[in-house]
A and B are shown apart, each in its own frame.
Chain A
Amino acid sequence: MQILQCEDLTKIYKTKKKKIHAVDHISFSINRGELVGLLGPNGAGKTTTIKSLCRLINPTSGSIVIDGTDVIRHPRTAFEKIAAVLEGNRNVYWRMSTKENLRLFAGLQGYSSRQVKTKMDGLIDLFGLRDKINTEARFLSRGMQQKLAIACALIKNTDILFLDEPTLGLDVEATYEVRRLLKEKIASEGKTILLSSHNMGVVEDVCRRVIIINHGKIVADEEIKRIKEFFQVNSYRFEVEGEINAGTQDEFTKRFLGVRFSSDKTRTEITIDLKDSMRIYEVLEILKEKGSKLLSIQNVEPDFEEIYLEMVRHEK
């Protein structure tokens, strides 16, 4: 059952010299409980799309319906259903503590502190903020601030959560923690999530479906699994003894797409995306010609990042 329908959404910014189509006639819908990634390079139109869905930007044309409510005409009714974390840690009050922020955001939705006490306790524990309950947000680590921003959105108890670049600027550990929370805890509550990111790893890890956007247009809207199938990319990793010289590397790069090398002094790994698995023999032929001793061949998961870049390149 669809909870969000976006039809022909367009946002044009007019400057003195030109018109910029930040979002160009995009349409998509999201089912209740679905986790959808909005993926695209910087400047693709992700933030404009999300802010238009939140009615923080006036779209030039198009319609947005959230759970039967026209967002353009009745934004307040729609705000009963949606919460958003925009631009990460900038969403919370830095001079207010964890608890004060959570209470304020509950109040903005019309809830009293008493009404949300149980939920607030649950969120504080879920996000590991118990020790920082009275700490001002400005003294929290960036990862903690980000988690607090998400908790503040969740305390509003809405059906839909928009997350704009939720892991931007976080270190590896904090990124992993946020991803884990989104995937394992929040998604299991049946929330509908639209998560924008330019980071393929985050989207691939958290979402089942991805909308790829570039230059304000939708390039693809598919389940991640199906996109991988569509491209029918098979990635193979060839492990050879010792290092391989620059000439050999050039030869691989010229003949195959999506070639990656990694090596230490004792061994080299060559990972190649092959649409036609018969070309594996071509790889072996080159290795034989160059006298490289093959140690192993592995079939590896296709790299979603490569697929995404390929799609964006085609769009250009």
Chain B
Amino acid sequence: MRNRLVNLFTAIFIKEWISLKRYPFNTISAVVTVYLVFLLFFLGYRLIGGQEAPFSSTTEGFIVGFFIWTYSIAAYSALSWGIVQEARQGTLEQLYMTPLGYERVAIYTVIANFVWSLVWVLPVLVLMMVTTGRFLHFDLITLVPLLILTIASGYGIGFITGGLGLVFKKIQAFFQILQFIFVGFIVAPADTIPLLKILPFSLGTRMIARNMIEKLPIYQMPAFDILVLVVNAVFYLLVGFFVFKLCEKVAKDRGLLGHY
């Protein structure tokens, strides 16, 4: 069984890589678009007389926030648009027919996407640092787990919207609006209003910023915050998956898995 799971994971991992490779225009345009939006905010804010950066007290904070926003969109799109796209192509039904379970396919897709997203998210981060001349601290031992826990809520939301997209075909306009709602979650002041820590991305962004800007390693961060971040990640993933399974049942009842 273990070998079969490894084979399934390998197949999904390669599939995600091929999809990134075969849509070079999408990948490049994503990098360019995100970078232009960054410039628009950053330079625009300066032009109107702002001192440091929008949505943050420092330029470094703005870069971290933008980096998390980019990553969260990559994560969320992989599931929301990804599931709808598979249904439209007619391949979702084939994924469902694996004897190893669609749940595993979905989880492996999330892992593969998390890794492959770096291919275009990292260049955006480097571009932002070069543009602003502010270089952030990279401590992978702290950054990777925090990033996984922070972005997990994006996958949870992706499961919810992907599931809703299967049932309600006209929901796609909402997919784009949601990306901008993410900005609100990221800039929410979780350090001054503790209740905001339950929002997706909010606490994680603060913790990543403390690491990348203040060089604070994960083992020196408050244990309570780490616990809340873990609970937050698990909560959004579980709720997302639960809603997705509900939508999947409705889609199967209505015969919508392969309909678009």
Could you tell me which A residues sit within 8 Å of B by CB distance?
Answer: 11, 13, 22, 48, 51, 54-58, 76-77, 79-80, 82-84, 86-87, 90-96, 100, 103-112, 115, 136, 152
Contact = CB atoms under 8 A, between A and B. Distances in A.
B123 interface: no
Interface string B174-186: 0000000000000
B interface: dominant SS? helix
Given A76-B100, A91-B94, A58 B14 contact: no
Contacts, number: 108
A108 B99 CA distance: 8
27 contacts: A11-B255, A56-B252, A56-B257, A58-B249, A79-B97, A79-B99, A80-B99, A87-B258, A90-B89, A90-B90, A91-B91, A91-B93, A92-B91, A93-B18, A95-B22, A95-B23, A96-B18, A96-B22, A100-B18, A104-B11, A104-B14, A107-B10, A107-B11, A108-B95, A108-B97, A109-B99, A136-B22
Nearest to B95: A108
A7 B19 CA distance: 41
A interface: dominant SS? mixed
Contact of B91 (A93, A111, A136): A93
Given A86-B90, A90-B90, A110-B4, A58 B22 contact: no
Interface string B91-115: 1011111111100010000000000
Interface string B235-259: 0000000000000010011110110
Contacts of B99: 76-77, 79-80, 109-110
B89 A94 contact: yes
A243 B97 CA distance: 57
A83 B105 CA distance: 17
A73 B10 CA distance: 28
Contact of A76 (B101, B254, B257): B101
A90 B7 CA distance: 24
Interface string B72-93: 0000000000000000011101
Contact of B255 (A57, A77, A103): A57
Contacts of B14: 100, 103-104, 107
B258 A93 contact: no
Given A76-B101, A96-B15, A110-B4, A86 B22 contact: no
Nearest to B94: A91
Among B6, B14, B23, B105, max chain A CB count under 10 A is at B14
Given A107-B7, A110-B8, A57 B252 contact: yes
A95 to B, nearest CB: 4
B5 interface: yes
Given A54-B97, A84-B97, A96-B22, A91 B90 contact: yes
A24 B12 CA distance: 38
B166 to A, nearest CB: 12
Contact of B15 (A84, A91, A93): A93
